[in-house]
Structure 1
């Protein structure tokens, strides 16, 4: 093999004995070794070459599919208006670096059956470095005759410092073509047509990515690219919804009433906390009420329903795209091969018990049920402990908000006072929110740092059998942790903040009344605005993969989230491509049929998003109370009077000493006897004073009806779309069937031709008997079948 297909191990200048035995065993396995000294004479590079015999042997062992005939099936039909997509397309030799072939698992005894024109290039780079790493992962570093199974594999040699690194080499340079015409130039093409940011509007060369980096990285970029394409439609609809909020800005009667000096300026609101918080006037929330209208308007309901349908279409169309890639990349039967052949070396080393595999009929290691259950219980207990720790931290942050809010309120007593920091007015709520967000950010980063290591430790402790199982288990643990870590504060703001505050004279307290931590209230502006601000703060902590949760679970509160995610994805695709091509060591190629555990995670998030958005629109948004007022209580189907209608009255004289502000600066004359609070309760003097009015129950019924209707509409559409759109396209099904038929046909013809050659050779020496001829025919037919 040429140097550009080599494998390299960085050496340190100690445990020479282990290196000597390991390298001797590598040579016994057929690999060719070459030592390259650095100029400092302290670092050595061991270059590993895999000759044809080694590649052919392990391709046979691993049942790697290779081409045996060029495909005669048309790739696709020309689509109308194809010229519209021409600016976004790449050259054909970049999109399809090699023709389509019919493939079959490699058999070393049938090399003439396959299309082998050049042995140096027959196996692509990703296959070559995957085979070499397979050997490295299982090669022992003890002397022949000893049976110390712990001393096996390159991973243990890396962990104990025998080698400093092990990685496949890149092929040639990326910034200009290689002078040697024989050296492959995939890296150069990837840099020019994929890794440069100026190509952000171009399609990705997925076949070239797969050929150079392997199917696993290829399927990742395929998913990310498809996700970005689908985000375009969600972003357009989100911009339309936001634009509607901007255009209807002047028609917002509720905000006008709040800002009006004669209406909002004359309404005195009850204190938002005990002792330290003063009475305040409603028009102090003028700015936030206008801001809330941008995100909480009639278009928000339509957008929430649209996103529920969008996520269904996204998952269904991705299944079709994934099925097409599975066929084109020979991954249809990969999972069965993965389970049967590619057992993790760590599993083979640590599991000493053996039993017969009913499929392969060979003895293989296994983990006893008792040991598996014990490890699972320990793993589950560890995960539950860490999740409980996250929830405890979230509760601590909430307690901090409740305790510190009063302190800020005692400093900033007048919400109307013009105290500015970085151009913004500072209020107790803003000061509390900013400091709490900083604390929450630090906690998230610290927990992430520790849990990533804990998740790897407990997954290693479970000893998964295959690499696929290992990755799926680790993915599930990391997602479960990050879901709780990232989204807990959002769930609190969406469904708990300001919902269980009680009313004047009967407030609710966290940890009971003795704690003096009164549950947090929100101002008159829509609670949806608080969730929007939380999402904008949280977008700087979160990983790219977690954007999917934010644009589905809480998208009703921030219609511009898909647009931000779209820009983020466009940037991240090219940044990742640039890093892979120019900055990172070439990763070990590995195969993957799909996105693994993420498929089930995305399905669960999609279902949960329908529920969360329905509840957000019902209980966090202010749209349902407005619509009930408009159609049932508003005079002349107008929103005039809604502000006054949505505020209840409380007698100031009945406020207890524990709740009464300790300052006499109330900003109003002492003749004012009542204050207002946000609820629907009967006024003082009514026979059912301070009990909920009928309007409250009407609104609650409307909210529940909206949740039921929205969920049923979205789920009906979801199941209908899933039924209408098959997971595997019909043309792919037909091509799979035809390919299998042709494989059997060509294999049969090959065996018949081989039999003819054998018979002709035997006739040249001695004519066979009729019995032996029939036996040979039966043997060939049974092998074909």
Structure 2
């Protein structure tokens, strides 16, 4: 029996369709290849050895010619206490389904040069189905004087064929019927796709053998990212515990909570009319909560994450270089993808011109291309503006409902900090509800824009599939970047910065009913943490449920009738046909999800040190959900090559650079506290910091529009006794020659923040470049193996030509 790569092609009932698909490979159509509905027919494409060998030569597929003779310890040193890692390991036949060989591009004229034990198994399944699909993608089906129509992709696009896919090798829950060989799909399900294997290593070589290099690279990157998250999660947890266990050293929170200090500080209203005066100790709980995330350990963690992200990207380059060699991708270039035109491009572009590489080819006129690009750019700008408008709407909601919450909660027992009622403040209620509304808006806009992004990318008519993916990647990431992060940027860098001062407040768009928000005396960090937790956690939970549930429900519904038939009547091709199709953008969405998560744990991680821990837990589940989905819920995708994660690498680099800036400038009160301790404290302690950080305003200076309505202030407030209130700022009091202008301490703090930003950015970037210089992208042992392999190829070919002349 010759080597076979099975490709099932679903055809609609059409008498004019011949059983020959215009291939030199003759398909077979028998009665048992008609589906249960008697309307769908299946054609099996069979590739014998001669065809496989010919196209392996054409595609320069690398095959083994000699066993590896480099000692194992040459490139991987023995690990001390190796037995500790035994529980995490898989059987060797699963981790390494093939021996380690030196490889060389296949040459059909030098068959004896290669290690061919059995022609039936010489080419792995992923290579066989890639060759067959390569043939189908170039097979002509209509020829005229003006053009040649060719390719299964065009036929799928115009509806001539319903689907085309390679078959899985067996049912995923059953071993192979052949007792001499194991089912690769069964091994993947047993050792990789089950959730209880979450602590096991991934069988990357088996994934690559079964699904191809492109999917293998994705799971290698996801696994490596998850491993690196472990270190960030541990350090983040330590920083969080440091904040938790240093409550007793938190002097400023003690001052806020004490009846003598915080209980005697009367704060100015936080909104007009509906907000009354309040005591500082009512924010006791939020002050303690802020300390868990805003402490000295947080600054250290921000510096650590700047170094971590650099190490992650550099070590991934090294890991990628190893995979490039091990998977024979060192000399791989995506020239074929760059030369192969998309069927949609050939269909819509009627003009033709001379190409020095491909000769006559269709092309899109420059005027049409410019018009389409302009319309595409305008559409992207419109949708980004729509996001910004939605964020402004959420901000307006926060400003409007804060007054309502303040009015409702004015009678809550805030004087006793131990009572449950004091845990729910107007600030917290506003923040949580606004974050939930923002998350719903994000998800709705995502669903809408996903279709818009595909539509405008199709409208641009990209020339190749690679160009199509790159254009779509930029559009989707740019949109999701603004969609997911804009609300966090608002809280981190804008909220509380442009509020003015009592008697001269700043209003949103100048509308007197929307006074800009102020931060709590404890800062805005806890609100940023709330926003980050709700959006990040909500996205991760929703994403995992959607990825696991939607394919399962659709498969159950699609195969509901066929499942009632006995196994003998439910053929393998029908079983696979009832599974979900893994489109050419399947991995795009997987990468996009992880890159958005990467932004959350790098851009704003200083405000929530537990973010890497949440991401780690999510990714442990994500790996197994994706594995289960690929193994059980999707048709087997056509294998394709990729030597890297593509455009996502540059996006990760951009996010990493931006994270250095955001983490050293995040919303934190550490700089004002340090300035006070070293420049304004008599004993280098934090005693008196709260009183120092609050300015004084004369209540008589309130205008009628700012003054609380009658009955809004609490019962303890007596305007005849209390004549001043405090607010968060550094300004001179009433009666001073520079009344309500900024004090020198304000400018000292501003200078300290700028100095800290500049120093930290330079230190972070210096570390980044130093680490990048110290860690070469390609490990030395990989370079040695590449040189050794090239030397052997040259030597073996020379000897072959001498002893086996043509």
- Pairwise same-fold verdict (TM > 0.5): yes
Runs of 5+ consecutive residues of structure 1 not aligned to the other structure:
759-785
Who is 1:318 aligned against?
A: 316
Q: Could you tell me how far apart the structure 1 residues matched to 2:506 and 2:532 are?
A: 27
User: Compared with structure 1, are the counterparts of its residues 166 and 115 closer, same or farther at alpha carbon in structure 2 (3 Å cutoff)?
Assistant: same
Secondary structure in 2 matching 1:400: helix
1:25 aligns with 2:75: no
Aligned equivalent of 1:53, options 45, 50, 54: 50
Q: Deviations over 1:70-104 (max 9, x none)?
A: 33233434424133333322222222111222323
Secondary structure in 2 matching 1:49: coil
Q: Could you tell me how far apart the structure 1 residues matched to 2:530 and 2:470 are?
A: 34
Who is 2:718 aligned against?
A: 669
The offset of 1:420, in angstroms, is 14
User: Compared with structure 1, are the counterparts of its residues 337 and 743 closer, same or farther at alpha carbon in structure 2 (3 Å cutoff)?
Assistant: farther
Who is 1:692 aligned against?
A: 742
Q: Could you tell me how far apart the structure 1 residues matched to 2:464 and 2:61 are?
A: 17
Q: Deviations over 1:395-438 (max 9, x none)?
A: 12212221222233333334536999999844332333333223
The offset of 1:593, in angstroms, is 0.8
Who is 2:690 aligned against?
A: 643
**Quick check: 1:168–1:587 contact (8 Å CA) kept in 2?**
yes
The offset of 1:352, in angstroms, is 5.0
Q: Deviations over 1:254-294 (max 9, x none)?
A: 11111111211111111111111111111110111011110
Q: Could you tell me how far apart the structure 1 residues matched to 2:434 and 2:670 are?
A: 28
**Which of structures 1 and 2 has the bigger CA Rg?**
1
User: Compared with structure 1, are the counterparts of its residues 363 and 123 closer, same or farther at alpha carbon in structure 2 (3 Å cutoff)?
Assistant: farther
Mapping 1:238-257, distance limit 5 Å: 238-257=236-255
Q: Could you tell me how far apart the structure 2 residues matched to 1:354 and 1:753 are?
A: 50
Secondary structure in 2 matching 1:591: coil
The offset of 1:572, in angstroms, is 0.9
How many residues matched? Answer: 745
**Quick check: 2:3–2:121 contact (8 Å CA) kept in 1?**
no
Q: Could you tell me how far apart the structure 1 residues matched to 2:700 and 2:210 are?
A: 78
Tell me how large the CA RMSD over aligned residues is. Answer: 2.6
User: Compared with structure 1, are the counterparts of its residues 45 and 361 closer, same or farther at alpha carbon in structure 2 (3 Å cutoff)?
Assistant: closer
Q: Could you tell me how far apart the structure 2 residues matched to 1:298 and 1:222 are?
A: 36
**Quick check: 2:3–2:49 contact (8 Å CA) kept in 1?**
no
Q: Deviations over 1:719-762 (max 9, x none)?
A: 1111111111111112212222222222233333343xx5xxxx
Q: Could you tell me how far apart the structure 2 residues matched to 1:420 and 1:631 are?
A: 33
Who is 2:578 aligned against?
A: none
Q: Could you tell me how far apart the structure 2 residues matched to 1:370 and 1:109 are?
A: 49
1:659 aligns with 2:706: yes
Aligned equivalent of 2:783, options 733, 741, 747: 733
Q: Could you tell me how far apart the structure 1 residues matched to 2:119 and 2:6 are?
A: 15
**Quick check: 1:296–1:526 contact (8 Å CA) kept in 2?**
no
Who is 2:678 aligned against?
A: 631
1:581 aligns with 2:631: yes
The offset of 1:448, in angstroms, is 0.9
Secondary structure in 1 matching 2:21: helix
Secondary structure in 1 matching 2:44: strand
Who is 1:104 aligned against?
A: 104
User: Compared with structure 1, are the counterparts of its residues 382 and 57 closer, same or farther at alpha carbon in structure 2 (3 Å cutoff)?
Assistant: farther
User: Compared with structure 1, are the counterparts of its residues 435 and 421 closer, same or farther at alpha carbon in structure 2 (3 Å cutoff)?
Assistant: farther
User: Compared with structure 1, are the counterparts of its residues 182 and 341 closer, same or farther at alpha carbon in structure 2 (3 Å cutoff)?
Assistant: farther
Mapping 1:336-355, distance limit 5 Å: 336-339=334-337, 342-352=340-350
Q: Could you tell me how far apart the structure 1 residues matched to 2:114 and 2:338 are?
A: 24
User: Compared with structure 1, are the counterparts of its residues 87 and 111 closer, same or farther at alpha carbon in structure 2 (3 Å cutoff)?
Assistant: same
Which stretch of the first structure deviates more once superposed, 278-287 or 738-747? 738-747
Aligned equivalent of 2:332, options 328, 331, 334: 334
Secondary structure in 1 matching 2:45: strand
Who is 1:65 aligned against?
A: 62
**Quick check: 2:413–2:419 contact (8 Å CA) kept in 1?**
no
Who is 2:618 aligned against?
A: 568
Q: Could you tell me how far apart the structure 2 residues matched to 1:453 and 1:562 are?
A: 31
**Quick check: 1:32–1:51 contact (8 Å CA) kept in 2?**
no
Q: Deviations over 1:139-186 (max 9, x none)?
A: 4554x668675x654444444544443222111232232122466521
**Quick check: 1:90–1:193 contact (8 Å CA) kept in 2?**
yes
Q: Could you tell me how far apart the structure 2 residues matched to 1:705 and 1:415 are?
A: 43
Q: Could you tell me how far apart the structure 2 residues matched to 1:499 and 1:141 are?
A: 66
Which stretch of the first structure deviates more once superposed, 82-91 or 629-638? 82-91
User: Compared with structure 1, are the counterparts of its residues 419 and 7 closer, same or farther at alpha carbon in structure 2 (3 Å cutoff)?
Assistant: farther
Secondary structure in 2 matching 1:173: coil
Aligned equivalent of 1:599, options 646, 649, 653: 649
Q: Could you tell me how far apart the structure 2 residues matched to 1:251 and 1:527 are?
A: 21
Q: Could you tell me how far apart the structure 2 residues matched to 1:384 and 1:422 are?
A: 46
Q: Deviations over 1:583-634 (max 9, x none)?
A: 2221221111100011000000010000000110xxx101111111111112
Who is 2:484 aligned against?
A: 486
User: What TM-score comes out, normalization by structure 1 length?
Assistant: 0.90
Who is 1:92 aligned against?
A: 92
The offset of 1:694, in angstroms, is 0.9
Who is 1:8 aligned against?
A: 8
The offset of 1:355, in angstroms, is 5.5
Q: Deviations over 1:516-568 (max 9, x none)?
A: 31111122122111111110111112534321101100000001111111111
Q: Could you tell me how far apart the structure 2 residues matched to 1:383 and 1:655 are?
A: 45
**Quick check: 1:510–1:517 contact (8 Å CA) kept in 2?**
yes
Secondary structure in 1 matching 2:539: coil
Q: Could you tell me how far apart the structure 2 residues matched to 1:370 and 1:269 are?
A: 63
**Quick check: 1:172–1:184 contact (8 Å CA) kept in 2?**
no
Q: Could you tell me how far apart the structure 1 residues matched to 2:70 and 2:705 are?
A: 82
1:133 aligns with 2:133: yes
Who is 1:776 aligned against?
A: none
Who is 1:770 aligned against?
A: none
Which stretch of the first structure deviates more once superposed, 58-67 or 710-719? 58-67
Secondary structure in 2 matching 1:68: strand
Secondary structure in 1 matching 2:393: helix
Runs of 5+ consecutive residues of structure 2 not aligned to the other structure:
541-592
Who is 2:525 aligned against?
A: 528
The offset of 1:648, in angstroms, is 0.4
